[in-house]
Amino acid sequence: MIWVLLILVAVLVVVATAAVVTGRFTPDPMADPVTSAPHHGLPAGTVRAVDVDDVTFDTALRGYRMDQVDDVIDRLQQRIAELESEGRDPLRP
C-alpha cells in the first residue's frame, strides 16, 4: 500500500515539474486583462466635476483595471494641482 502512495507522489512531482518547465503553471496564472466595454476615462482638456461622474472602468479578477484607475487618478491629481496653484479651493466649484 505504501508503494502505491509513493508512486502517486512521484507521478505528481513529475507532472508538476513538467507543467512549470513548459509554462503551463506560473506563479501568477492571472490572464492578461481584456476589455469588455469601452473605457470611459476623463476627457482630454479641462476636467469638470460632471466628467468624474461619467468615468467607468472594466472589472478584472481582482477588482478594477489598475491602468485605467491610475490614469484617472493621475489626471485628477494634475487638475487639483492646477486649481491649487491658481489659489482656488479645489473642493469648491
pLDDT digit string, tens, across residues 20-70: 777 677 666 566 666 666 666 777 777 776 777 777 777 767 777 778 888
pTM of the model: 0.42
Q: Based on the domain organization, do 20 and 56 belong to the same domain? A: no
- My answer on whether 19 and 47 are in the same domain is no
Indicate whether 41 and 71 sit together in one domain: yes
Q: Are residues 9 and 49 in the same domain?
A: no
Same domain, 43 and 3: no
Judgement on whether residues 23 and 45 belong to the same structural domain of the protein: no
What is the length of the chain?
93
Taking the CB of residue 74, how many other CB atoms lie within 10 A of it?
Answer: 11
**How many domains, in total, are found in the chain?**
2
Domain span at residue 59 reads 37-92
Distance CA 18, CA 30 (A): 19
53 and 23 inside one domain: no
For residues 42 and 81, state if they share a domain.
Answer: yes
